[in-house]
Copies of this chain bind each other. A is one copy, B any other.
Amino acid sequence: VSDESTKPAGNVGRDHPSGDAGLLPDRIEMAAGLVARAGGLLAADVPAARYAVISDGNVAPLHGAAVAASLRDAGRVADLLEFPAGEASKNRDVWSSLADRLAALGAGRDTCVVAVGGGVTLDLAGFVAATWARGVDLVLVPTTLLGMVDAAWGGKTGLDLPAGKNLVGALHRPRAVLIDPSTLRTLPAAELRYGLAEAVKHAVVRDAAQLEWIGARASALLAGDEDALLELVRASSAIKRAVVAADPRERGERQILNHGHTVAHGLERVTEYALPHGAAVAVGLVAEAAIGEAAGVTARGTADRVAAALAALGLPTRPPAGVSIPALVAAMRLDKKARAGETRYALPARVGEAARDPAGRWTFALPEERVTAALAALWRMPGRSTVSAERTAV
């Protein structure tokens, strides 16, 4: 018997299910020198009884300690919680130990977690904030270009499991995102390029003029010109925010941000994560544009144009030696979006515009043979290696 008399009232109910509510921050600040004065800003705008600044061992001495010191200068209680740098730290053990340290500090519901670092830190500290005392305030201070254009936006937090990346996590809206391009001075050149790969992705699915701009400013961006980087971060993150605002739960349009990533995740798996994510995305963007062209979804010439932009940024456009197409296609079968014999791709219609199928869906299911043929033609590699042909024969 349905209990009609007690249907939720007011702001509670079907119209605003919790998962679909906003995932974007109330407050966005972007300026050089922001890290040094973060304390005053947070004390005023995100008041808390205690701030827990979380950084990895590389970023803590560079920027995490500065944020904590700035909070203390503003008269606030702030502790710096450090964890070992590296993707391997994005796991349940490190999350547990951070929670135990919050408990030892006596951190309550009125704690604010401040994540200072790259994608791993934003995801891990974000999950700490999402789960401490059933969710506390979170501030993100990305210090990598990838974090600034991509990871800091959209509310995804999570941990890797032995069985796969990001299998555990939560959607948790940050209260504020603070971006200080000065922090990019300490970023290795390769890391800067990996962030540029995601910026290219944003341009390819939403803004052709931005791809032109990136090409024109390539040398300034690669040289670490702070004005150019800040302009890129503003424009590229605005695309991500617009897509997230339109579809927070990734039921439709937000899927376009997976462009390049079906191939990229396959490449990461098949290289056992020796290929960095940003490099895999670069290769994936060209490969998926070519797959889209072969499928008649993407305008001819798109893959070439994307490859030229990536090459100008010093990013790879072909897989590393030793990757075979059959192994890659098999690895893509493990993609979350895959079904039997098919893999799903978010594809551009042309540079600057994502494609939709006739039913309005934002991804395309393509048969493996077709994908294999498109990649073989693009990379001029055999679609069936001898080894895999032998295996198939067994």
Chain A, residues 1-15, CB within 8 Å of chain B (1/0): the string is: 111011011111111
* Distance between A305 CB and nearest chain B CB, rounded to angstroms: 27
Residue of A3, A24, A30 with highest tally of chain B CB at under 10 A: A3
Q: Chain A interface secondary structure, helix, strand, loop or mixed?
A: mixed
Flag whether A307 is at the interface (Cβ < 8 A).
Answer: no
> Which chain B residue lies CB-closest to A108?
B336
A132 and B168 contact, CB distance less than 8 A: yes
Contacts of A220 in B (CB 8 A): none
Contacts of A20 in B (CB 8 A): 11, 21
Task: Knowing A10-B246, A134-B169, A134-B171, say if A5 contacts B238 (CB, 8 Å).
Answer: yes
A6 partner, pick from B158, B164, B238, beta carbons under 8 A = B238
B22 and A13 contact, CB distance less than 8 A: yes
A167 and B99 contact, CB distance less than 8 A: yes
Contacts of A3 in B (CB 8 A): 28-30, 234, 238, 241
Oligomer copy total: 2
Give the complex CA separation of A210 and B137 in angstroms: 38
A14 and B22 contact, CB distance less than 8 A: yes
Give the complex CA separation of A6 and B246 in angstroms: 11
A16 and B10 contact, CB distance less than 8 A: no
Chain A, residues 42-61, CB within 8 Å of chain B (1/0): the string is: 00000000000000000000
Contacts of A234 in B (CB 8 A): 3
Flag whether A274 is at the interface (Cβ < 8 A).
Answer: no
A167 and B132 contact, CB distance less than 8 A: yes
A169 and B18 contact, CB distance less than 8 A: no
Contacts of A132 in B (CB 8 A): 167-168
Give the complex CA separation of A96 and B167 in angstroms: 11
Chain A, residues 158-170, CB within 8 Å of chain B (1/0): the string is: 1001111011111
* Distance between A240 CB and nearest chain B CB, rounded to angstroms: 9
Flag whether A23 is at the interface (Cβ < 8 A).
Answer: yes
Flag whether A124 is at the interface (Cβ < 8 A).
Answer: no
Give the complex CA separation of A198 and B27 in angstroms: 41
A18 partner, pick from B12, B100, B108, B173, beta carbons under 8 A = B173
A96 and B100 contact, CB distance less than 8 A: no
A103 and B6 contact, CB distance less than 8 A: no
B170 and A12 contact, CB distance less than 8 A: no
| Residues 234 to 257 of chain A near chain B (Cβ within 8 Å) | 234, 237-238, 241-242, 245-246, 248
Contacts of A89 in B (CB 8 A): none
Contacts of A190 in B (CB 8 A): none
Flag whether A261 is at the interface (Cβ < 8 A).
Answer: no
Contacts of A382 in B (CB 8 A): none
Task: Knowing A21-B11, A23-B12, say if A170 contacts B135 (CB, 8 Å).
Answer: yes
Contacts of A11 in B (CB 8 A): 15-16, 20-22
Known: A3-B238, A16-B16, A18-B172. 17 other contacts (CB 8 A): A1-B30, A8-B241, A8-B245, A11-B15, A11-B21, A12-B21, A12-B22, A19-B135, A19-B173, A21-B21, A92-B92, A99-B167, A100-B163, A131-B169, A132-B167, A134-B156, A134-B170
